[in-house]
Amino acid sequence: MPRFALRIEYQGADFSGWQRQRDLPTVQGALEAALARLEPDVPSIAAAGRTDAGVHALAQVAQVDLTRDWAPFRLAEALNFHLKPAPVAVLAAARAPDGWHARFSATERRYLFRVLARRAPAVLEAGLVWQVRAPLDAPAMQAGADCLIGRHDFTTFRAAECQADSPVKTLGELRVEEIPRHDGVEYRFHVRARSFLHNQVRSFVGTLERVGAGAWRPEDVAAALEARDRAACGPVAPPHGLYLAGVSYPEDPFRAS
């Protein structure tokens, strides 16, 4: 039974997250419904990460085991046909290497969080950015972000319902990018790690926004980290600014496709 890797883009506003749920629209449910149009009795698919309700993906990665040895291009085309009109697209399909797993073989996950500072409502980007009214102090936010890079106990930035065995994670990157626009200023938070705790990225961004707005000092972020107490965290940023931007593998199935 050949295993295929799928690289997937989706707009998360219409979904109750990635993971299939009874009587609720999910990305996994939409993809499995499309797969069922191609082959009966397709096993459940697995993904590199389970995004929450409202979260988007630029390059989610999932796996599926199929009976037929599809040409990858034809598989992607057929899935995209059956996915309409759901806001989901299969960007690429590839034969997976032996032993490859979308979740357990991943060595890095990358997230992007977009914040738009402007006074007028973000009509065209509603649901795609977190909008704030006033510009933020990007250097101050970066100074706070720098306190979080490395291996730490991230209990403060972990949702109460997080099921991870340990709050200790290694954060490889948390970079703040400031982009002037004709309508305001966009701030992009680039976050990179092998794995993340539940709501960790949104907790980072919500806390750093307080630094950018002048309500917190950069050193307050370090104090919150050291507290190892969820109550010390700043507000949690909303899900609609968050994107799963990419997943890395030692043996990338898409590199050869």
Residues with catalytic function:
52
Q: Which residues of 11-154 form beta strands (DSSP E)?
A: 46-47, 56-65, 88-95, 108-117, 130-132, 150-153
Query: Tokens representing 146?
Result: 């720098």
**DSSP 8-state class, residue 21:** B
**DSSP 8-state class, residue 126:** T
DSSP 3-state of 163? coil
Rg (CA), the chain: 19
Cis amide prior to 25 (ω within 30 degrees): no
**DSSP 8-state class, residue 24:** B
Q: Quickly list DSSP for 198-244.
A: TTHHHHHHHHHHHHHTTSS-HHHHHHHHHHT-GGGS-PPPPGGGEEE
Amino acid found at 214? G
Query: Contact, 93 vs 6, CB < 8 A?
Result: yes
DSSP 3-state of 28? helix
Query: Tokens representing 27?
Result: 């990305």
Rounded alpha-carbon distances, angstroms, from residue 21 to 16, 72, 98: 8, 28, 30
